């Protein structure tokens, strides 16, 4: 059948990738949702602020040379009684600028959150794929492990891991290890939902004919999982990842608040809140208030973004 009319020569050129992206349903639904746009702008601003904290922050709160103890407890936007220095969001007991500590704290919070979600994602996706595709006792072992993990609160899992890790790390490395232990601890307490969702989607996909066709042409199970099934189960993963990010940031703050997370030398938002809560009832409210508001805004924006993403990727709600 080679006698088709030749396609016309002056076919329109394929549109560029940016153009395709801007015209997609996905982008359209984004533009149509004010909540999504606002939260995306907030998240983006905060990520950029955290990323460029050293450039934006008025002072480096972790450089002892830049600190003046006389500046301690300066209220927001009020000149200090002794030095005359003024700070937008005030200072803490050590005279550190609260705005700067928040910017640096957001770096830690976002980094821990992102890394923990990434870790949970890799772990959860791998185990979920394996579980769904292999079936049988592999499936049983992995899913029972997941069930067991769900029977106690994830914060407990994280604290347990954190405690054990702290016990086996030499004292001088503890502060450096703390961040990584946090990531592993939060990641390990968070992989279950990724695994469950991926397993469910894999069970659906693996019975489709294209997987049978791939098996028929002699693809190995590993290759089928990675090339054929994984890309087809990714969209729910994206939604969970976003919502998990908010949860991971909160989990990190909780652990840090409880004193088992980021050390005071590398304070995250949670550590800042813990430091601040000691001064709440003595009138220095700003030390607690601003980090807490930042955490709330960040977590809420990420969550709202996740909600929109879930609706946008759900074909039934289009």
Least CB distance to another protein at residue 204 (A) = 10
Least CB distance to another protein at residue 122 (A) = 20
Least CB distance to another protein at residue 216 (A) = 5
DSSP the chain: ---PPPPPTTPPPPPPHHHHHHHSHHHHHHHT-HHHHHHHHHHHHHHHHHHTHHHH-SS-TT-GGG--GGGTTPPTTSB-TTT--B-TT-B-TT--BHHHHHHHHHHHHHHHHHHHHHHHHHHHHHHHHHHHHH-HHHHHHHHHHHHHHHTS-HHHHHHHHHHHHHHHS-GGGHHHHHHHHHHHHHHHTTHHHHHHHHHHHHHHHHTSHHHHHHHHTT--HHHIIIIIIHHHHHHHHHHHHHHHHHHHHHHHHHHHHTTSSS-TTS--HHHHHHHHHTTGGGT-THHHHHHHHHHHHHHHHHHHHHHHHHHHH-GGG-
Cβ of 290: how many Cβ atoms within 10 Å? 22
11 binds another protein (CB under 8 A): yes
Cβ of 80: how many Cβ atoms within 10 Å? 19
213 binds another protein (CB under 8 A): yes
318 binds another protein (CB under 8 A): no
- Cβ closest to another protein, residue 19 vs residue 32: 19
- Cβ closest to another protein, residue 20 vs residue 156: 20
16 binds another protein (CB under 8 A): no
209 binds another protein (CB under 8 A): yes
- Binding residues with another protein: total (CB under 8 A): 21
**Token duo for residue 17:** 């990738």
208 binds another protein (CB under 8 A): yes
Write each residue from 118 to 137 as x if it is in contact with another protein (CB under 8 A), else as -, in one continuous string: --------------------
Rg (CA), the chain: 25
228 binds another protein (CB under 8 A): yes
Least CB distance to another protein at residue 203 (A) = 13
63 binds another protein (CB under 8 A): no
236 binds another protein (CB under 8 A): no
- Cβ closest to another protein, residue 94 vs residue 232: 232
Q: Which of 76, 215, 279, 289 binds another protein (CB under 8 A)?
A: 215
- Cβ closest to another protein, residue 141 vs residue 212: 212
1 binds another protein (CB under 8 A): yes
Q: Which of 218, 315, 316, 318 binds another protein (CB under 8 A)?
A: 218
Give the whole-angstrom CA distance, residue 293 versus residue 299: 10
231 binds another protein (CB under 8 A): yes
13 binds another protein (CB under 8 A): no
219 binds another protein (CB under 8 A): yes
- Cβ closest to another protein, residue 84 vs residue 218: 218
Q: Which residue, 132, 133, 130, 124, is CA-closest to 199?
A: 132
Contact positions vs another protein (CB under 8 A):
1-2, 4-5, 7, 11, 208-210, 212-219, 227-228, 231-232
């Amino acid at each position: 059948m080679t006698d088709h009319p030749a396609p016309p020569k002056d076919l329109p050129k394929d549109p560029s990738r940016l153009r395709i992206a801007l015209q997609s349903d996905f982008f359209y639904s984004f533009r149509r949702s004010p909540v999504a746009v606002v939260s995306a702008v907030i998240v983006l601003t905060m990520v950029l602020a955290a990323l460029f904290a050293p450039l934006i922050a008025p002072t480096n709160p972790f450089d002892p040379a830049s600190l003046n103890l006389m500046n301690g407890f300066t209220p927001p936007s009020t000149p200090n009684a002794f030095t005359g220095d003024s700070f937008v969001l005030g200072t803490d007991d050590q005279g550190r600028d609260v705005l700067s500590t928040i910017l640096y704290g957001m770096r830690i919070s976002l980094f821990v959150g992102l890394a923990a979600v990434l870790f949970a994602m890799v772990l959860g996706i791998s185990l979920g794929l394996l579980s769904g595709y292999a079936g049988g006792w592999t499936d049983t072992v992995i899913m029972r492990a997941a069930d067991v993990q769900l029977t106690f609160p994830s914060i407990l899992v994280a604290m347990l891991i954190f405690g054990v890790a702290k016990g086996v790390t030499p004292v001088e490395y503890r502060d450096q290890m703390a961040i990584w232990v946090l990531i592993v601890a939060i990641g390990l307490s968070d992989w279950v939902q990724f695994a469950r969702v991926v397993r469910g989607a894999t069970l659906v996909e693996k019975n489709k004919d294209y997987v049978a066709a791939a098996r028929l042409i002699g693809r190995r199970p590993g290759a089928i999982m990675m090339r054929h099934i994984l890309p087809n189960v990714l969209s729910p993963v994206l939604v969970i990842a976003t919502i998990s990010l908010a949860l991971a940031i909160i989990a990190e703050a909780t652990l840090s608040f409880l004193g088992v997370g980021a050390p005071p030398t590398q304070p995250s938002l949670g550590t800042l809140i813990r430091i601040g809560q000691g001064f709440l009832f003595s009138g220095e409210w700003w030390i607690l208030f601003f980090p807490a508001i930042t955490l709330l805004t960040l977590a809420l924006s990420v969550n709202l973004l996740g909600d929109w993403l879930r609706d946008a990727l759900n074909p039934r709600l289009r």
